[in-house]
């Protein structure tokens, strides 16, 4: 069994450098990742489907392409995909019993792009059922590599755990209320929710059409930029795709950050925030100041209204999508997802419209903040990774873990602004804390380079979980 | 009205709302969904009170049409 830590925790760009210099082959990287999955994943439950044979076949093909002179930023890099992304001929379950035997006949657009770039698809990662915030018992929860009695978060928990534990060099996730950024924060990763419409959702099973985003989870902001550059761009197959030119973000990743105006949303350092999380996040903000950014307090209005706005929207849109199965096979859903879908089916249309109108107000407030600031910052999540079995509906307002989480991450889903969670540091217990950098519409480049600068200055992202 | 009567009335309302959406629900499960629905009443009241007097129209900003207006 190969378990070469020297290869395992290479950055994505570092892996490509070694591949280009001929120091390692994609087949070796892939075999190492597969061996590591065999050795460790039983403890994490990060993967639903592991594509051993096809991954190695792809790796050998890519090695041949490289020998013929081909080069590329993802060529030969083993990547994992949340099991929400259609993969032709490969089971795509969405973490749901209802789709346990679903085999799409076409790749999602982003999958097609990754394959064209020469990425090696290692497998499909575990996730909360239909990305809705609660795991189905058939698939179970994904454990956090930093603490196996805690969740990796979700709904892209499998992707997060896989990258965190060195089972993949990067992964794709989806984000409707924080489902990339929340597990990124809990697992100490860089997780990017791009601008709404920046990345195609064609072939990605929806949760809520007006809130869904696709993006990368990686061990560094530079790696996130590399994956974003590969998957971004207008797609006529996605009706919400933005016809906006994507300029390389990896190309400007080490541009200077001194002088950036950073708005610190003080409110989100207070409400529900655990003391250790606050301390780590504030220290990270001070580190940003040490990098030469100009800090100021920001106070966009109506952020306490995020939950009354986002809840009816996600619930009603999800209920619309799942209406038929909810009516005909309700028992095949997990109890929590079924109950939330039923709630969505009960929402009056005027409440949904009011929620969309309130959404515009929240968005206008964030957009106005960008007249004064280049980046807005606050803790990605107000808490550290919760214990397993925390995602239960309590029935009590604000006691629900999801409510606490989405109150932070849901802002950028409502507004569509790009948002990057970076590893801010660790609590005294050794648990990761995320800091969210929110940027102007279509300005992923600025938040990624600020994240890269922070990571370069602190090195937090090079810490390894005690999972071996 | 007794608590039991109030719960029954809420359960009937919840079942009726689901039936209007074509979603059947076993009688044994309606109590839990009803409790969840009505526990969110404060949030719904907050939402409605915020929108009272507001005249801004709804714009689903996420449509491709709006994005094309925001091209950078």
DSSP readout, A136-169? -TTT-PPEETTEEEEE--SSSHHHHHHHHTTS-S
Q: What mean pLDDT do residues B41-67 have? A: 69
Cβ of B62 and A240 within 8 Å?
yes
In this prediction, residues A67-94 reach a mean pLDDT of 98
Q: Are A311 and A278 in contact (CB under 8 A)?
A: no
Residue A124's nearest CA partner among A151, A174, A84 is A84
For the residues A264-277, what does the mean pLDDT come to?
A: 93
pLDDT the model gives residue A255: 98
| pLDDT for the residue numbered A272 | 84
The encoded tokens of residue B27 equal 């009688």
- Interior CA angle at A129 toward A126 and A130, to 5°? 105
Residue of A197, A338, A355, A443 to mutate for B, most B C-beta atoms under 10 A: A197
Distance, in angstroms, between A364 CA and closest chain B CA?
11
Report the pLDDT averaged over residues A208-217. 97
Q: Does A358 contact chain B (CB < 8 Å)? A: yes
Contact B62 A197 (CB under 8 A): yes
- Provide the percentage of residues in chain A whose pLDDT is more than 70: 97
In contact, A183 and A159? CB cutoff 8 Å: yes
Distance CA A384, CA A151 (A): 10
For chain B, state the CA radius of gyration: 19
Q: Which residues of A69-93 are buried (b: 16+ CB within 10 A; e: fewer)?
A: eeebbbbbbbbbbbbbbbbeebbbb
Q: What is the pLDDT of residue B70?
A: 45
Say if the Cβ atoms of A397 and B72 lie within 8 Å: no
Q: Rounded to the nearest 5°, which phi and psi values hold at B28?
A: -70, -15
Q: Is the per-residue pLDDT at B72 higher than 50?
A: no
Are A339 and B57 an interchain contact pair (Cβ–Cβ within 8 Å)? no
Of A36, A50, A199, the residue nearest A111 (C-alpha): A199
Q: Are A153 and A160 in contact (CB under 8 A)?
A: yes
Residues of B in contact with A309 (CB under 8 A): 47
Whether A349 and chain B come into contact, CB under 8 Å, resolves to: no
Task: Identify the burial level of A180 via C-beta atoms within 10 angstroms of its C-beta, where 0-12 means exposed, 13-18 middle and 19 or more buried.
Answer: buried
Read off the DSSP letter of residue B56.
Answer: P
φ/ψ of residue A422, rounded to 5: -115, 160
pLDDT, residue A312, reads 94
CA distance A435 to A190: 10
Chain centroid, CA A253 distance in Å: 19
**Can you read off the two tokens belonging to residue A307?**
């939950």
Kind and range of the H or E element at A325? helix A306-328
Q: How many CB atoms lie within 10 A of CB B39?
A: 15
Query: What is residue A5's predicted lDDT score, i.e. its pLDDT?
Result: 64
Q: What is the pLDDT of residue B68?
A: 44
Peptide bond into A79 cis (omega under 30): no
B30-47 per-position pLDDT tens digit: 999 999 898 888 888 888
Average pLDDT over residues A259-282: 95
Q: What is the mean pLDDT of residues A147-153?
A: 96
Whether the per-residue pLDDT at A402 is higher than 90: the answer is no
The shortest C-alpha distance from A56 to chain B (Å) reads: 39
pLDDT above 80 (res B1): no
Picking from A420, A387, A400, A413, the residue whose alpha carbon sits closest to that of residue A181 is A420
Catalytic residues of A: 82, 155, 179
How confident is the model at residue B45, as a pLDDT? 86
What distance in Å separates residue B45's CA from the closest CA in chain A?
A: 9
Say if residue A135's pLDDT is above 60.
yes
What CA–CA distance (Å, rounded) separates A454 from A309?
Answer: 33
Question: What mean pLDDT is predicted for residues A83-90?
Answer: 98
What ranges in chain B are assigned the alpha helix state H?
3-20, 27-39, 41-51, 64-69
For the segment A109-125, what is each residue's pLDDT rounded down to a tens digit? 999 999 999 999 999 99
Residue A1 clears pLDDT 70, i.e. is over it: no
The rounded distance, in Å, linking the Cα atoms of A16 and A6 is 14
Closest CB to B37 among A244, A346, A363: A346
Q: How confident is the model at residue B59 (pLDDT cuts 50, 70, 90)?
A: low
Quote the mean pLDDT of chain A: 95
User: DSSP character for A412?
Assistant: H
Residue A415 in this model has a pLDDT that exceeds 90: yes
Residue B58: closest CA among A144, A455, A293, A360: A360
The pLDDT of residue A145 is above 80: yes
Burial class, A270, CB count within 10 angstroms (exposed 0-12 / middle 13-18 / buried 19+) = exposed
Res B60: pLDDT? 59
Within chain A, what is the greatest distance between any pair of CA atoms? 61
- Taking an 8 Å cut-off on Cβ atoms, the answer to whether B61 and A243 are in contact is no
Q: Which pair of structure tokens corresponds to residue A49?
A: 């489907």
- DSSP code of residue A242: -
**pLDDT bracket for residue B53 (50, 70, 90):** low
Distance CA A13, CA A15 (A): 5
The average pLDDT across A9-15 equals 95
- ipTM surpasses 0.85: no
**pLDDT for position A392:** 52
Which tokens belong to A118? 């020469």
Q: What percent of chain A has pLDDT over 90?
A: 92
Q: Helices B41-51 and A306-328: crossing angle, nearest 10°?
A: 120
pLDDT band at B69 (very low <50, low <70, confident <90, very high): very low
Q: Are A104 and A120 in contact (CB under 8 A)?
A: no
pLDDT, residue A9, reads: 95
Predicted pLDDT of residue A421: 98
CB distance A125 to A171 below 8 Å: yes
Mean pLDDT of A156-174: 98
Nearest by CB to residue B23, choosing from A240, A307, A345, is A345
Q: Tell me the two tokens of residue A154.
A: 């979700």
Minimal CA–CA distance to A308: which of B20, B23, B30, B50?
B50
Q: Helix crossing, A26-44 with A12-20: angle to 10°?
A: 150
What pLDDT is stored for residue B61 in this prediction? 56
| pLDDT for the residue numbered A404 | 80
For chain B, give the mean pLDDT: 78
pLDDT tens-digit readout, A275-331: 999 999 999 999 999 999 999 999 999 999 999 999 999 999 999 999 999 999 999
């Amino acid at each position: 069994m190969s378990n070469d830590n020297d290869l395992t925790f290479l950055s994505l760009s570092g892996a490509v450098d070694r591949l280009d210099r001929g120091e390692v082959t994609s087949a070796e990287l892939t075999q190492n990742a597969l061996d590591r999955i065999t050795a460790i994943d039983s403890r994490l439950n990060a993967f639903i489907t592991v594509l051993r044979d096809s991954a190695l076949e792809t790796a050998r093909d890519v090695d041949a392409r490289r020998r013929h002179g081909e080069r590329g930023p993802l060529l030969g890099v083993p990547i994992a995909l949340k099991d929400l992304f259609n993969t032709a001929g490969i089971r795509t379950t969405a973490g749901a019993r209802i789709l346990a035997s679903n085999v799409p006949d076409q790749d999602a657009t982003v999958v097609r792009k990754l394959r064209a770039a020469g990425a090696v698809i290692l497998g499909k990662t575990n996730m909360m059922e239909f990305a809705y915030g609660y795991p189905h018992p058939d698939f179970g929860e994904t454990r956090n590599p930093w603490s196996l009695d805690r969740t990796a978060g979700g709904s892209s928990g499998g992707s997060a755990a896989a990258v965190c534990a060195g089972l993949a060099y990067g992964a794709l996730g989806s984000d409707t209320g924080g489902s990339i950024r929340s597990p990124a924060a809990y697992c100490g990763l860089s997780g990017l929710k791009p601008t709404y419409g920046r990345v195609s959702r064609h072939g990605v099973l929806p949760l809520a059409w007006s809130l869904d985003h696709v993006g990368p989870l990686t061990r560094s902001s530079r790696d996130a930029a590399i994956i974003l550059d590969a998957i971004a761009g207008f797609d006529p197959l996605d009706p919400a795709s933005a016809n906006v030119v994507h300029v390389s973000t990896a190309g400007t990743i080490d541009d200077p950050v001194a002088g950036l105006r950073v708005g610190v949303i003080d409110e989100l350092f207070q409400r529900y925030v655990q003391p250790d999380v606050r301390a780590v996040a504030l220290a990270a903000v001070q580190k940003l100041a040490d990098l030469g950014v100009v800090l100021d307090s920001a106070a966009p209005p109506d952020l306490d209204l995020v939950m009354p706005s986002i809840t009816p929207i996600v619930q009603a849109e999800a209920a619309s999508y799942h209406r038929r199965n909810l009516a005909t096979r309700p028992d095949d859903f997990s109890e929590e997802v079924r109950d939330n879908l039923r709630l969505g089916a009960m929402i009056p249309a005027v409440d949904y419209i009011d929620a969309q109108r309130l959404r515009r107000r929240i968005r206008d407030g964030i957009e106005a903040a960008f007249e004064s600031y280049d980046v807005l910052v606050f803790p990605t999540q107000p808490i550290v990774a919760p214990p397993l079995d925390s995602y239960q509906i309590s029935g009590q307002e604000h006691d629900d873990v999801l409510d606490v989480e989405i109150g932070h991450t849901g802002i950028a889903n409502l507004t569509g602004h790009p948002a990057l969670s970076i590893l801010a540091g660790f609590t005294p217990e050794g648990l990761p804390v995320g800091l969210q950098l929110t940027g102007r519409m279509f300005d992923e480049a600025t938040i990624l380079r600020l994240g890269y600068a922070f990571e370069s200055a602190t090195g937090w992202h090079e810490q390894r979980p005690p999972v071996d | 009205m007794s608590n039991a009567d109030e719960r029954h009335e809420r359960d009937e309302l919840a079942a009726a709302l689901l039936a209007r959406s074509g979603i059947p629900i076993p009688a044994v499960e309606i109590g839990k969904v009803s409790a969840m629905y009505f526990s969110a009443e404060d949030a719904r009241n907050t939402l409605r009170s915020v929108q009272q007097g507001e005249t801004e129209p709804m714009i689903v900003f996420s449509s491709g049409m709006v994005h094309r207006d925001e091209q950078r």
